[in-house]
Amino acid sequence: MSRADLFASTDPDLTQALTCTQKEVLERAVAKIVLIGAQVGVSADQMILLLESGMTVQELLEYLGTQCVDGA
């Protein structure tokens, strides 16, 4: 999934209101969340579906934390 894809379904007014630095920080944060998801077996597409179903970002992070396997 490309970075452009991550913002494709985002409200255009929101992304236009962000500064270049804010966009970069947001992109790095999303990339880290995607990496964490991959490490515990949750794909970016699965995370998007969870968020679209009403899960908050905080709830998603908590969910990813519960997916960690012992010894990881």
Kindly list the domain boundaries of the chain, sorted by start residue: 3-66
Where do runs of H (alpha helix) occur along 1-72? 3-8, 12-17, 20-40, 44-52, 57-66
Separation between Cα atoms, residue 51 and residue 60, nearest integer Å? 7
What pLDDT digit, counting tens, does each position of 6-55 carry? 555 556 566 578 899 999 999 999 999 999 999 999 999 999 999 999 99
The pLDDT assigned to 3 comes to 46
Residues 6+ apart with CB under 8 A from 40: 64, 67, 68, 69, 72
Instruction: Give the global pTM.
Output: 0.67
CA distance 18 to 39: 29
Is the torsion defined by CA of 4, 20, 47, 43 positive or negative?
A: positive
